Amino acid sequence: LVGSEMCIRDRYVQSITNLEERKRLCDTCKQAIGIRSDTQLWNYRVGNVRPDILKRRELAKIIRRHSGDSSYTADNLFPVEFYNR
């Protein structure tokens, strides 16, 4: 990814205009992967830390269910290129 290009995961999350719904999705993600910190979720989002494969799969499953889009996978939501900049 180049410069300010957003990954598919961020485009989806930002497409949720209802802030309460977006917060519920983030809370569901945090609970599912066993983290309490908004900072840790933020680090995944901005590319500082790539979640391990089990966390990526779990987060992808939650986003697929929430969005109804079965094309979301652990690999396209958390592309290695995004974290190796």
Model pLDDT, residue 5? 53
pTM comes to 0.86
Burial of 7 (0-12, 13-18, 19+ CB in 10 A): middle
Model pLDDT, residue 6? 66
Model pLDDT, residue 1? 39
> Helix 38-46 and helix 8-15: axis angle, to 10°?
130
Model pLDDT, residue 4? 43
Mean pLDDT in order along the chain per 10 residues (85 residues): 62 92 95 93 89 96 95 92 79
Model pLDDT, residue 85? 64
User: Which residue blocks in the chain are alpha helix, DSSP H?
Assistant: 8-15, 19-33, 38-46, 53-67, 74-77, 80-83
CA 6 to chain centroid, in Å, comes to: 12
